[in-house]
Amino acid sequence: MATVTSVSYFKRYKMEMELHSIPLPRLPEEFTFAPWSCELLDIHAEVLFGSFHQEIDAQVFPSLGDRQGAFGLMLEMTRKRGFLPEATWLLQGPLGPCGTVQGLRERDGVGSIQNLGILPGWRGRGLGEALLLQALHGFRRVGLRRALLEVTAQNDAAIRLYRRLGFRRSKTLYKAVPEWHRF
């Protein structure tokens, strides 16, 4: 029998920005953006897992901590009514796929960035910034005027990136994560 024995609370920030003047993404040579297609579902899921499973968000969203869970999350995302292929991109590098981002239409005029991830070995070269900009331009192309996202307060690298591009904190949230124990 599985029982909840404790609950941890993770502080998260909702961050938002207007999409009127965003720079074009710039990729180093040998990197390209692959647009969304169903055949890429497995690859997005694998990159999602690789980018998140050792990070704080795998504690907040335990599905990110294993391959099957990441695949399930990715599949669920693509089946949502607001799923936006235009804001969902795979980053291909010289040695294969190395980044993923997904986008949803949140409500009228607003796009929501989901799960921006760059594989650990490829970080610190501007790829996260470029992939995020690529998704934001996707929002613009479908007529959205504003973007939002949520980030765990301990995720300094991600918060610095979001602030650099113009996202500002609009709300503080606490995500309850139950811990299940089997008896």
Ligand X SMILES: CC(C)(COP(=O)(O)OP(=O)(O)OC[C@H]1O[C@@H](n2cnc3c(N)ncnc32)[C@H](O)[C@@H]1OP(=O)(O)O)[C@@H](O)C(=O)NCCC(=O)NCCS
Angle at 165 between CA 102 and CA 10, to 5 degrees: 65
Q: Which is nearer to ligand X, 77 or 151 (CB)?
A: 151
Considering only 49-57, 82-90, 135-143, 169-177, which stretch makes contact with ligand X by CB under 6 A? 49-57
Q: Which is nearer to ligand X, 104 or 158 (CB)?
A: 158
Is residue 106 close enough to count as binding ligand X by CB under 6 A? Answer: no
Instruction: Choose which of 35, 72, 96, 124 interacts with ligand X (CB under 6 A).
Output: 124
Whether the Cβ atoms of residue 152 and residue 116 lie closer than 8 Å to each other: no
Instruction: Choose which of 17, 49, 55, 112 interacts with ligand X (CB under 6 A).
Output: 55
Is residue 51 close enough to count as binding ligand X by CB under 6 A? Answer: yes
Q: Which is nearer to ligand X, 107 or 163 (CB)?
A: 163
Q: Which is nearer to ligand X, 5 or 172 (CB)?
A: 172
Buried b (16+ CB within 10 A) or exposed e, 52-86: bbebbbbebbebbbeeebbbebbeebbeeeebbeb
Is residue 84 close enough to count as binding ligand X by CB under 6 A? Answer: no
Q: Which is nearer to ligand X, 35 or 121 (CB)?
A: 121
Instruction: Burial-class residue 148 by CB neighbours within 10 Å (0-12, 13-18, 19+).
Output: middle
Binding site for ligand X (CB under 6 A): 51-52, 55, 57, 116-118, 123-129, 151, 155, 157-158, 160-161
